[in-house]
Structure 1
Amino acid sequence: MRAARWTGTKSIELGTVPKDAIVRVTHCTICGSDLHMYAGELNSGMQKGDIMGHEAIGIVEDVGSQVSKIKKGDRVIILPVIACGDCFYCQRQEYSLCDSTNPSKEMENMWGHRLSGIFGYSHLTGGYPGDQAEWCRVPNADLTCVKAPMDVDAKKLVALADVTPTAWHGCELAEVTKGDVVGVWGCGAIGLSIQKPSLFRGARKVYAIDKDPQRLKIAASFGAIPVNINDHTDVAAYILSVEPHGLDRGIEASGFRSETSVTHTLMRKVGLEGDQGDTVTSIITATRKCGNIALIGDFFFNTNQFPIGMLMEKTITLRGGQLMAQKYFPYLLDIVVSGEYDPSFVMTHTDDFENVSKNYASFNDHKIPGGLKVCLVTEFGRSGVRSI
């Protein structure tokens, strides 16, 4: 089969690998977190030829004897998190913290614990072959696959693989509820997908913070209040000038690559820190006393000048972590199928899967048409097949 294989920094090649699969992929996409490997920040966890990707849908081609919830011919969403369903954390529905599916000693040495396995996300998360491929072998398929109707738009389902549950996870961590004033730093696919569900959950106001005019325009289109970083020397001060009590909920959705200050830019360039603290400091400053903050945009290493005193003294709750995808289904699928919520707005471009290498380069350079994500369609997906 053909698959998107990591061959080095800024090098993704479409190669041929042995077929070892139960799901035949019809559509997949590139995640912002895939760029950590593509651009070189997580090269230490990669091996040449690793298959990329953790956002895909497809048709079940075969199932093992232990699988009971899905069958051959079913259309499924492949969730990114591979969980066992039985360990201490899975029993608490904290699936991304699964103790059993990730053998990485390197991660355990880094953080004291291992997180769950994740498709196509380096050997730090288990080295599982990803689903930017024509087939994908899915471990623990009853928990990792979500059966979906045949007549739902593919873009909606691809968005449900990772973007929407990650965004929902951000809202859950921040405890977004009716009447809240929310600020979201970052207007990429995840940031926008946090802003829209925040309003869906009843937030009174949602501030969308970014520097890209096109993305800010998308945020404004569904009712968020755009704040252009380029228009304010101090975004936190601006937020406090219009919301004197501060934000009830502050959510970070931009990640460690989005440094804004000269200090953090230089420290990252010379290796004195791995993660920038600019965004987190701004969020802590802008969030009210006893408010909540969620970190969603991926931090892996360390940051300097972290305002721990302000965090503690303001009695702010700070949480973060990878999505607990399985926890949020079938609810998320139900609201999409019923028409209550449409996540497909993040898929601003469609292309053939065979052009995956070109789309990695475009995504890294912020040149995807429409400004957000590309929906890649395999040859099987283009055939219009509805079942096997």
Structure 2
Amino acid sequence: MPELKKPVLTTAYKPHPTEKMKAAVWTGTKSIELGVVPKPTITAPKDAIVAVTHCTICGSDLHMYSGDLNEVMEKGMIMGHEAIGIVEDIGREVKHLAIGDRVIILPIIACGSCFYCKRKEFSLCDKTNPSKELEKMYGHRLSGIFGYSMITGGYPGDQAEYCRVPNADLTCVKAPKNIPAKKLVGLCDVTPTAWHGNELAEVGEGDVVGVWGCGAVGLSIQRLAKLRGASKVYAVDKDEHRLNIAKSFGMIPVNVKEHDSPADYILSVEPHGLDRGIEASGFRSTNSVAHSTMRALGVEGDSSDTAAAVIKATRKGGNVALIGDFFFNTNNFPIGMLMEKAITLRGGQLYAQKYFPELLNMVVEGKYDPSFMFTHEDDFENISKNYDAFFHHKVPGGLKVCLATAFGRSQK
């Protein structure tokens, strides 16, 4: 894994000198504490301050929690990139939001005017991330992201009672006040990420699709694949409870524990192969002794176990999408199989802004309900124990928790 040096925080953030708020702050490996920190204020004319009503913990937050990104974290950094709330204040150049609006805060912070934003590839934005370290690693910078380490801009996250939202007209989506909170929190990140996976894989009518991973994102990919017309969706995981959830939604479960090679099993029942394969299990997922050992020894940062299985199970000329948030390097990647089978491989963080208002309209019209992913509800003040439960796969119901702030609870 490449050595990462802590960059200098250059993101504009000037807290109010007297007002305070509660926030989930990173204090070290497996340590997220509910801290009392300065409340943010407007620092740029396109900013908005949002009073958070509900938020949740993302699987990718566990990269920071587990210690995988310690080198690029700052003690006291506010976590989180999935929240909704009410606009409390706006900068003088905010045109499409008003105080009192209910909004979804999207995770991607984009400028809206650079080469990539004009192509609606918002997570590739050139202007919102000052990290030189990321540019050195990848050759380019990516967009800023809320609460997601210094190499994505060092932006304070929205697992907090208030959040400063840069470029708020683009980063916030106005939402109806009569839609249940869990539906809207599900639209912050998981649903657009799942839609992005389907877009990258080009899932369409009649396709046979395989999705590795049955967490909230994987299950959402599966359900949206069906909504887009997929004829069959194979759900691959090692967690029996999650596989049963997938089965209840009409997917075909494939239990990794029951098959030495899930790819070979899929090919035994689908000799033609999958039309579209999607990896949504994450870079911490290892299924072989070789990759577990290499991860433990630090000679690779990610594992290609699941990516290799997806590529093998996908038909010649098919499409593979990587959504599992790979970050570093991996060994034994099947580059020959990928090339010789003429498979198109794509990945990347979600183009969140691109998929709205379409996704919101789907929910408002009753065509899709993302609230299924929240199998537990709790108070925001209990976020520390919920991080521990999420990390150890002990969230009641097995998926995600929806956390309500004191302000959110007062809105009922």
Q: Distance in 1 between matches of 2:148 and 2:61?
A: 7
User: 2:292 aligned with 1:272, yes or no?
Assistant: no
Quote the residue 1:3 is aligned against.
Answer: 23
2:85 pairs with 53, 58, 78, which one?
A: 58
Structure 1 segments of 4+ aligned residues over 4 angstroms from their partners = none
Matches within 5 A, 1:1-388: 1-21=21-41, 22-384=49-411
Amino acid at match of 1:285: K
Note the C-alpha offset of 1:222.
1.2
Q: Distance in 2 between matches of 1:320 and 1:45?
A: 23
Percentage of pairs with the same residue = 74
Amino acid at match of 2:346: R
After superposition, give the CA deviation of every residue in 1:292-336 in whole Å (9 maximum; x if it has no partner). Answer: 000001111111111101100000000000000000000000000
Note the C-alpha offset of 1:384.
1.5
Amino acid at match of 1:11: S
Q: Distance in 2 between matches of 1:221 and 1:198?
A: 15
Q: Distance in 2 between matches of 1:127 and 1:230?
A: 39
Note the C-alpha offset of 1:131.
0.1
Note the C-alpha offset of 1:213.
1.1
Q: Distance in 2 between matches of 1:66 and 1:220?
A: 48
What SS is found at the alignment partner of 2:165? coil
After superposition, give the CA deviation of every residue in 1:105-136 in whole Å (9 maximum; x if it has no partner). Answer: 01001000000000000001000000000000
Runs (5+) with no aligned partner, structure 2: 1-20, 42-48
Q: Distance in 2 between matches of 1:64 and 1:256?
A: 39
Q: Distance in 2 between matches of 1:48 and 1:338?
A: 43
Q: Distance in 1 between matches of 2:55 and 2:343?
A: 38
Note the C-alpha offset of 1:45.
1.1
After superposition, give the CA deviation of every residue in 1:42-93 in whole Å (9 maximum; x if it has no partner). Answer: 1111000000000000000011111011100000000000000000000000
Q: Report the number of matched residues.
A: 385
After superposition, give the CA deviation of every residue in 1:204-250 in whole Å (9 maximum; x if it has no partner). Answer: 00000001111011111111111111110111000000000100000
- Give the RMSD, CA atoms, in angstroms: 0.6
Structure 2 length normalisation: TM-score?
Answer: 0.93
Note the C-alpha offset of 1:30.
0.1
Q: Distance in 2 between matches of 1:324 and 1:308?
A: 26
Structure 1 length normalisation: TM-score?
Answer: 0.99
Q: Distance in 2 between matches of 1:243 and 1:106?
A: 44
